[in-house]
Structure 1
Amino acid sequence: MTTLNKEEAEAKDIAILAKGGRTNVFGFLLRLAARIPFLFIAGRIYGADALGRFAYAILVTEFTAQLATLGLTRGLAEKLARTKKDENHVVGDALLLSLITASIGAVILSFLPILMFRGAPVSFADHWLFPWVVVPLVWADIALAALAFYGDIAASVKAQAIIEPWVLSISSVIFIWIAPHEGLLLSYVASAVAALAASLYPLLKRFGWPHGWRPHIPTLFSLARRNIPLAAADAIEWSSRRLDIVLLGLFFSSSVVGVYYVAQQVASLVQKLKTSFDPILGPVITRSLEAGDKAAVANQVRQVGFWIIAAQTGVTLALGLTSHGVMGLVGPRFAGGDGALCFLLVAEVVAATAVISEAALIYIAPKTNMAISIAMLSLQAALSIPLISVLHKHLGHNPLPSDLAAAAGPALALAISLGTGSILKSCLLRRLLKAPVSPWKWALLPAVIGAGAVGMVARQFPEWLELSLGVIMILVSYSSIIWYLGFSPEDRMLFKRQKMPDLAEPVMKADEEEA
């Protein structure tokens, strides 16, 4: 590859990432606008107890769905980049394999509903309908991963940032009158089915019907076996975000779980700024690795990492400095979860480097990456209970099952473990690529200090003014400083409209067995 061609390829990759980034920022704003009504409805009408029951049930089903994807949400990009088969046949194999694993998971949950509801009364819908939400969850993820291989991030935004959250909010209102006990869970099922429909339609338009495709059992087993490291990495990363809910479910009342779930959902808006880059970053990295260009991979990790950290830090400051009012919007009971929200927001920012580094490590050092992830999860589990005890002793005023102050312990443990993982994974990736991968820029420091000062002033406002004008003041001050001090011409590509580079000609190589 000539120097000119290499520079053109790198510029094309950054343009692809910038286009995907712009689409995802827009999707984040849409997701924010749609998620708030649901949290308001769930908190004000259904209540903290019902929300806690809902949170624990979907935790179990989403974990089952995560296992059932077998890592194909990221592994599919590598498979499509290497295959000589018709691409729609590869997608057909992935959908069939995930249908089998998702159905097995749904059957297990149907016969063991206690895994989802912890001894609470279980209705017919809870028992036999809700567990099957695993199938649309898995298929939607696979379909969107296939579309992302060709840079179609708009499909993900439409399905997951518009249709899914708005159907969830609207359905939760409708089911208040039809099935108040199962209303939240049935709303979740409706939103998952709607998101699946919105994912399959563009998939068929892009890939077409797989004519001539026949299921081949050895191929399916090979696909499953090769994706075990990816599946494990995804499951561990997902578990690190849900272990806190599991621990709270064991030690605290359903109402505390419900309050913490709201804090987690608000923080997940920040997380989506990070994870929504995965579909577009994966194909770009696999193409660079296929070409043997490690320097390009390092550049992509640095670039996307800075975009994510810069965006997450601004949103974290805006939500964290006004956390009491943000949580109070859902209901007075929820305002006590402001400490947990702050820790969760910090956790998402410090996790950004780990997740972006992992986007490359899963392809070049999957076993080492998995070992680090397991160590992170173990550290989180080891710290959670001691931190619950310490916070309860020094801050708690209620019996432990209803102590919101102590419930922030798992969130703090999450922040510590993710920060540790970020250091380890970025160091490993830097050594393997023989190039710097850290997204940190010193301009972040004055931006945080400036926005923090503005936030402290905004906290003196009446709550309604703090949540309206105060949040805007924090975001404007932060954005102005980071734009002028931190954004290079390459960074500013994120905000320049340009024609999307053609992704219709992926690198095509024969499948090779992993060493």
Structure 2
Amino acid sequence: MTDPKVRKTIDSARDDMGDLQRAMLAVFSSSVTRILARVMLIVFVVKLYGLGSFGYLGETAALVELLAALASFGLPKTLLAYLDQADGDPVTEGRLISNAIALSALLGIILGTVLWLLWPLIFPPSSGVPAYAAAAVFLIATTELMLTVTRSRRVIRWDAMVKGFVKPWGFLLLCVGGYFLLVKTGIFSAVGALFAGYIASTVLALFVALFGLIWTRRKNSYALVLPDLMGMRRLFKNSFSTAIVDAGSFSFRRLDIILLGVIAGPTATGIYYLVQQLATVVEKMRHLFEPMAAPVLAQAKSMVVTSAHLKKLCLWIFSAQVGLATVFVSFAAAILGLFDAVYMHAAILMMVILMGEIAEGTSGLIELPLVFNAPAIASRNIIIALICEIGLVALGAYNFGLMGAAAGFSLAMMLLAILRFSSAHTALGLTIIDASYAKPVGAAIVAAGATIGLNMILVAENNLYLAFSVVVCLLTYLLVLRLFGLSLWLARTS
């Protein structure tokens, strides 16, 4: 007869995996719509606003989103654990929630004001980039904290709605409308209209997140409590290590753009930002699970359960990322051509960036148990990787331009992955990597070979043939992966 405690742990693990799968489907649909909006936005901005404007957008978004991550102060991760410790007490939960949102909003206002004061030193007046874009620091940070509260109730729809529909599609529609209503009529400059749409989309996202917070409050009752300074101070102190981890993780895909913009200028940054935006399709595989994996792992009572979850999730993420990366590298030049962007070494640039994305994405979820159990180790790993990235990207960009910046980013991400895996093993006893990781690599080699062979037999250059080749490449990868005994569905992944 099975021990009741063991049976309870097994049932809980099954429930957790069910929540993860449901969340994955919700976030997947959100990611697909976000990718479509992002692709359409890139096409529109590059063709009508110009590659230089797209470069300025990339630099500004990197700065603003980096400071917003600092303003969030690690609370999107630590708040989940604190709420779990509250053990369902509505007053304690309400106080934690109000203090967290107030602290993030205050930090967002302070950092946004500093950025606004430094704006003339960052962007010359001739660029036309408006200083009011600094307000996005407060808007993005506050929105993220509100969505964290809804996720803590294992309600993912608001996060998916804001990030998959409201913000990307709102930005796209505002840019389209702004171009024809403001730029074509001479009311706004191209850069001014572009950034007006960016800020308006963040405001819209904030209001939807606020509505989701109110809806969650009605369905999952917690007390309405005003924030207090002492509670905010305790949160600041307790979340400091996690804040380094959270902001550092967010910084990796922002610092390279900022450094490249300073060294190489907006046009080169525009090409790099374009490739990086396309590469985030691969990187987002990790984020299919993180919104729900965070509360699941925070509430896990056993390292055995945590290890079982992570083994499945990390292998799934690696397999999905390798498959998508195979497509992007195989058709890099053709994909960039769709956006009227030409770069001689497109495939190599894409491959180098994606190697870093795969390393960081595969190891990303390991950071969650480290944050919950050994935050000092997690922050140490981030600091080491950040220092290496700054040095490698600056040196690489100065000497080799785009390719040097990409190589610096990728090397830093590989170092971070090694640090994460080794820290999880030594500090928590978690062993994640095994021989199964060779199977996706083998499937990718077969798929790439099939694609090369198809291109040699059928010589054609049009979008229909490109789509056909991409489908063949993906289907070949999935088929070989299944023959190797792996499936891209959690319940069946060995």
Question: After the TM superposition, which of the residue ranges 338-347 and 199-208 deviates more from structure 2?
Answer: 338-347
Taking the aligned partners of 1:120 and 1:97, their CA distance within structure 2 comes to: 33
Provide Cα deviations, 1:480-510, integer angstroms capped at 9, x if missing partner. 222342436983469xxxxxxxxxxxxxxxx
- The yes-or-no answer on 1:379 pairing with 2:378 is no
- Maintained 8 Å contact 1:60/1:115: no
For residues 109-188 of structure 1, what are the structure 2 equivalents within 5 Å?
A: 109-114=115-120, 116-117=122-123, 119-121=124-126, 126-127=130-131, 129-176=132-179, 177-178=181-182, 179=188, 180-188=190-198
Instruction: Give the TM-score normalised by the residue count of structure 2.
Output: 0.90
Q: How far 1:338 sits from its partner (Å)?
A: 4.7
Query: What is the aligned-residue identity percentage?
Result: 21
Q: How far 1:271 sits from its partner (Å)?
A: 1.6
For residues 243-258 of structure 1, what are the structure 2 equivalents within 5 Å?
A: 243-258=255-270
Question: After the TM superposition, which of the residue ranges 78-87 and 48-57 deviates more from structure 2?
Answer: 78-87
- The yes-or-no answer on 1:454 pairing with 2:450 is yes
For residues 281-300 of structure 1, what are the structure 2 equivalents within 5 Å?
A: 281-288=293-300, 291=301, 293-300=302-309
Give the alignment partner of residue 402 of structure 2, picking from 379, 403, 407.
407
- The yes-or-no answer on 1:28 pairing with 2:43 is no
- The yes-or-no answer on 1:427 pairing with 2:432 is no
Q: AA paired with 1:153?
A: I
For residues 6-405 of structure 1, what are the structure 2 equivalents within 5 Å?
A: 6-83=9-86, 84-86=89-91, 87-114=93-120, 116-117=122-123, 119-121=124-126, 126-127=130-131, 129-176=132-179, 177-178=181-182, 179=188, 180-208=190-218, 212-288=224-300, 291=301, 293-333=302-342, 337-388=346-397, 392=400
- Maintained 8 Å contact 2:260/2:394: no
- Maintained 8 Å contact 2:481/2:487: no
Provide Cα deviations, 1:236-271, integer angstroms capped at 9, x if missing partner. 112221221122112112111111111111111222
- Maintained 8 Å contact 2:90/2:222: no
- Maintained 8 Å contact 2:318/2:358: yes
Taking the aligned partners of 1:492 and 1:469, their CA distance within structure 2 comes to: 30
- Maintained 8 Å contact 1:321/1:459: no
Question: After the TM superposition, which of the residue ranges 455-464 and 420-429 deviates more from structure 2?
Answer: 455-464
- Maintained 8 Å contact 2:143/2:210: yes
- Maintained 8 Å contact 1:263/1:338: no
Structure 2: give runs of 5+ residues left out of the alignment. Answer: 183-187
Change (3 A) 1:115 1:389: closer
Taking the aligned partners of 2:345 and 2:49, their CA distance within structure 1 comes to: 18
Change (3 A) 1:207 1:21: same
Instruction: Give the TM-score normalised by the residue count of structure 1.
Output: 0.86
SS of residue in 1 equivalent to 2:191:
coil
SS of residue in 1 equivalent to 2:437:
coil
Question: After the TM superposition, which of the residue ranges 246-255 and 429-438 deviates more from structure 2?
Answer: 429-438
Provide Cα deviations, 1:222-244, integer angstroms capped at 9, x if missing partner. 01111111110111112221221
- Maintained 8 Å contact 1:380/1:417: yes
Change (3 A) 1:342 1:376: same
Taking the aligned partners of 2:488 and 2:264, their CA distance within structure 1 comes to: 50
Q: How far 1:337 sits from its partner (Å)?
A: 4.8
Taking the aligned partners of 1:36 and 1:152, their CA distance within structure 2 comes to: 28
Change (3 A) 1:207 1:459: farther
Change (3 A) 1:297 1:172: same
- Maintained 8 Å contact 2:366/2:421: yes
Change (3 A) 1:85 1:266: same
Change (3 A) 1:105 1:276: farther
Taking the aligned partners of 1:489 and 1:333, their CA distance within structure 2 comes to: 34
Q: How far 1:302 sits from its partner (Å)?
A: 1.2
Q: How far 1:26 sits from its partner (Å)?
A: 2.2
Change (3 A) 1:441 1:332: closer
Taking the aligned partners of 2:478 and 2:373, their CA distance within structure 1 comes to: 35
Change (3 A) 1:389 1:4: same
- Maintained 8 Å contact 1:72/1:94: yes
Taking the aligned partners of 1:116 and 1:466, their CA distance within structure 2 comes to: 44
SS of residue in 2 equivalent to 1:113:
helix
Taking the aligned partners of 1:285 and 1:6, their CA distance within structure 2 comes to: 13
- Maintained 8 Å contact 2:323/2:440: no
SS of residue in 2 equivalent to 1:442:
helix
Q: AA paired with 1:323?
A: A
Q: AA paired with 1:453?
A: G
Taking the aligned partners of 2:454 and 2:161, their CA distance within structure 1 comes to: 34
Provide Cα deviations, 1:134-189, integer angstroms capped at 9, x if missing partner. 22211221122111122222222211112211111111112224122312211111
Aligned pairs, number: 474
SS of residue in 2 equivalent to 1:121:
helix
Change (3 A) 1:371 1:332: closer
Change (3 A) 1:365 1:248: same
SS of residue in 1 equivalent to 2:106:
helix
RMSD: 2.3
Query: In the alignment, what sits opposite 2:185?
Result: none
Query: In the alignment, what sits opposite 1:472?
Result: 471
Change (3 A) 1:419 1:466: farther
Q: How far 1:275 sits from its partner (Å)?
A: 2.8
Q: How far 1:314 sits from its partner (Å)?
A: 1.3
SS of residue in 1 equivalent to 2:278:
helix
Q: AA paired with 2:425?
A: R
Change (3 A) 1:212 1:377: closer
Taking the aligned partners of 1:122 and 1:68, their CA distance within structure 2 comes to: 27
Q: How far 1:195 sits from its partner (Å)?
A: 1.8
- Maintained 8 Å contact 1:74/1:279: no
Query: In the alignment, what sits opposite 1:482?
Result: 481
- Maintained 8 Å contact 2:241/2:375: yes
Taking the aligned partners of 1:156 and 1:484, their CA distance within structure 2 comes to: 36
SS of residue in 1 equivalent to 2:153:
coil
Q: AA paired with 1:455?
A: T
Change (3 A) 1:250 1:466: farther
Change (3 A) 1:455 1:103: same
Q: How far 1:27 sits from its partner (Å)?
A: 2.1
Taking the aligned partners of 2:121 and 2:22, their CA distance within structure 1 comes to: 41
